[in-house]
């Protein structure tokens, strides 16, 4: 059984699908791309792939979800305006949307604060969301 969710955060588009029939839990990132041409795209794409995986795992952890595989089907963003932290937040929100659940408000607010604090970071920087 699968479920889909698409979320946009600051111009970042993320599409995910959940696979509840997978033999083991995990996160698979299938496609990451910039929405504009960029000389350093390779560096950003590697960081964004890691960020998408981090965001998906974080989303599952904070809502204590039963094991599943998250397929991150697409991450598309403009490196001139976002960074890996935004990609991770957008992926977490896409997973929560696909699960049709939301984390506690304090977790959402914490993620929003981390994203806001990362505004001046380069596109390949991921700031962790850990509350504790």
List the one residue out of 69, 129, 92, 111 whose CA is nearest residue 5: 92
Looking at the chain, list the stretches that DSSP marks H as alpha helix, in order from N- to C-terminal side. 41-62, 84-99, 105-117
Q: Which helix (H) or strand (E) covers residue 12, if one does? A: strand 12-19
pLDDT of residue 85: 93
Q: Which CATH number fits domain 2-120: 2.40.50, 1.20.120, 1.10.10, 3.30.230?
A: 3.30.230
Rounded to two decimals, the pTM is: 0.87
Listed range (5-14, 25-34, 64-73) with the worst mean pLDDT: 5-14
pLDDT for 19-66, tens place per residue? Answer: 999 888 889 999 888 776 767 667 778 898 999 999 999 999 998 877
For residues 42 and 124, what is the distance between their CA atoms, to the nearest angstrom? 10
Count of beta carbons in the 10 Å neighbourhood of residue 80: 11
What token pair was written down for 131? 């509350």
Encoded tokens for 116: 């806001």
Could you give the CA distance from residue 39 to residue 34 in angstroms, rounded to a whole number?
11
Comparing CA positions, the residue from 73, 75, 87, 67 lying closest to residue 26 is 67
In the chain, what are the domain boundaries? 2-120
Query: Which 3 state secondary structure label does DSSP give 4?
Result: strand
pLDDT in tens, 91-115: 999 999 999 998 999 998 999 999 9
């Amino acid at each position: 059984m699968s479920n889909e969710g698409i979320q946009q955060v600051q111009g970042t588009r993320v599409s995910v699908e959940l696979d509840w029939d997978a033999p083991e839990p995990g996160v698979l990132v299938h496609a990451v791309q910039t929405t504009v041409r960029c000389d350093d795209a390779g560096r950003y794409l590697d960081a964004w792939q890691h960020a998408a995986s981090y965001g998906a795992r974080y989303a599952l952890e904070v809502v204590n979800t039963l094991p599943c595989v998250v397929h991150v089907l697409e991450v598309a963003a403009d490196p001139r305006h976002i960074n890996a932290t935004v990609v991770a937040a957008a992926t977490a929100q896409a997973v929560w949307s696909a699960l049709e659940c939301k984390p506690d408000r304090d977790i959402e607010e914490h993620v929003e604060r981390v994203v806001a604090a990362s505004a001046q970071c380069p596109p390949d920087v991921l700031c962790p969301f850990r509350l504790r």
